[in-house]
Chains A and B, each alone.
Chain A
Amino acid sequence: MGGRVGPERLTIQLLGTPRVAVGARPLALSPGASLLCAYLALAPREGRSRAIAASQLFDDCPESTARRRLSTALWRLRTEVRALAGVDIVEAHGNQSVGLSRDAALSVDTDEFEALVGPVVAQPASELSKADAERLARAVTLHRGQLVEPCHDAWVLTERQRIEDLYLTALDYLVQYYGARAEAGAAAKFGDLALGLEPLREDVHRHLMAAFATAERPDLVDAQFERCRRVLLDELGAEPMPETVALYARLTRGDRHAPSSADALVKDLEQARREISRLSSIVDRALERLGRMS
């Protein structure tokens, strides 16, 4: 355990495994204190009712026991942070509510993440500026894992889902931004991160296919379509959606024009079928000739 340091700004990391640090130096808090700190960091700035906190954090206990355990956990968190950082991190509002101290200099990674992503994804992906893309890329580096990753308690799930939605949107925007600029490597990097979390998201597969086509990498278009097809088959026993197949067919013949109606989609797919039939006939004839020669 590290020694005590001066009252500097505390940084609270909630994305991934929760962690509290002074500058770059992590505080060696016990797992229970780290988790409670994360819980309080996610609470409203004015704090959380003790009764609610006790029931959410210790939902397997009777109310009186839960409240006692909450008091003990708060005391432990306060004591550990005070010993390691010289900061009083817990603020009690009478006997009713509790939160992180409003006087302590604190920064929380989720606040920074949201401030970076929120304003950018409020606009269409097609309108991103270079500065917007840099903000999103910075936010992506903050996302070291899911919100309070080791915890699956109900109190974290709603907020986790909201953050994950923002994260996935940021990644998809970056795929489209770099894709439109023919930067296949950057698009692939952010696309892989998105598909690592949500492998079945066909719109991300489609945006990657379009990005690779713009970068004139038909090999990567093929590979991405196959990856999409394979993961759907393996995980869901399903085929890609018609627009995904139609996009692949269009990109394969060098046409990047998107269909605007179901009729146009049908036309696209019928054209793809004619091309496949024609190719199939050519292959059949080649095989026949080969058979006659051997």
Chain B
Amino acid sequence: MAVRAWKHRFLLDVWAEPREIPHLPAIVRARVRDMGDDTETYVGSLAEIEQLVETRLDEAGIEPRVWEREQ
């Protein structure tokens, strides 16, 4: 019987793009590496990171589900 993965691992790099002009707000970007299939996705918001995690959990068939603090 195949062992079902119970843990999903992501590497998250978050950085602020260096700006030429002082005082302009930093532009934050991120890269999410899904260690399950070794794919990388660039994102520009926290919502996109959340979406990537939720998609992975959907694909793993973890339904229904609720996050600990959203119960």
User: Which chain B residue lies CB-closest to A157?
Assistant: B11
Q: How far is the CA of A265 from the CA of B21 in the complex (A)?
A: 8
Determine the chain B residues whose CB is within 8 A of the CB of A276 once the complex forms.
none
* Per-residue interface assignment for chain A, residues 233 to 252, with 1 indicating a CB less than 8 Å from any chain B CB and 0 otherwise: 00111100101000100000
Shortest Cβ distance from residue A231 to the other chain B in the assembled complex, whole angstroms: 9
Residues in B4-44 with C-beta less than 8 Å from chain A: 11, 17-21, 23-24, 27, 29, 35, 42-44
Determine the chain B residues whose CB is within 8 A of the CB of A152 once the complex forms.
11, 35
| B44 touching A262, Cβ below 8 Å | no
From known contacts A152-B11, A152-B35, A236-B29, infer whether A261 and B21 are also in contact, taking CB-CB under 8 Å. yes
User: Which chain A residue lies CB-closest to B29?
Assistant: A200
Shortest Cβ distance from residue B54 to the other chain A in the assembled complex, whole angstroms: 19
| A201 touching B43, Cβ below 8 Å | no
From known contacts A152-B11, A241-B27, infer whether A236 and B20 are also in contact, taking CB-CB under 8 Å. no
| A258 touching B35, Cβ below 8 Å | no
A206 at the interface (CB under 8 A from B): yes
A202 at the interface (CB under 8 A from B): yes
User: Which chain B residue lies CB-closest to A204?
Assistant: B18
A259 at the interface (CB under 8 A from B): yes
Q: How far is the CA of A259 from the CA of B43 in the complex (A)?
A: 28
User: Which chain B residue lies CB-closest to A235?
Assistant: B42
Q: How far is the CA of A124 from the CA of B60 in the complex (A)?
A: 49
A260 at the interface (CB under 8 A from B): yes
User: Which chain A residue lies CB-closest to B38?
Assistant: A152
From known contacts A236-B42, A236-B44, A238-B44, infer whether A260 and B21 are also in contact, taking CB-CB under 8 Å. yes
Determine the chain B residues whose CB is within 8 A of the CB of A259 once the complex forms.
20-21
| A200 touching B42, Cβ below 8 Å | yes
A8 at the interface (CB under 8 A from B): no
28 cross-chain CB contacts under 8 A: A152-B11, A157-B11, A200-B17, A200-B29, A203-B17, A203-B18, A203-B20, A206-B20, A236-B29, A236-B42, A236-B43, A236-B44, A237-B44, A241-B17, A241-B27, A243-B19, A243-B20, A243-B21, A258-B20, A259-B20, A259-B21, A260-B21, A261-B21, A262-B21, A262-B23, A262-B24, A264-B21, A265-B20
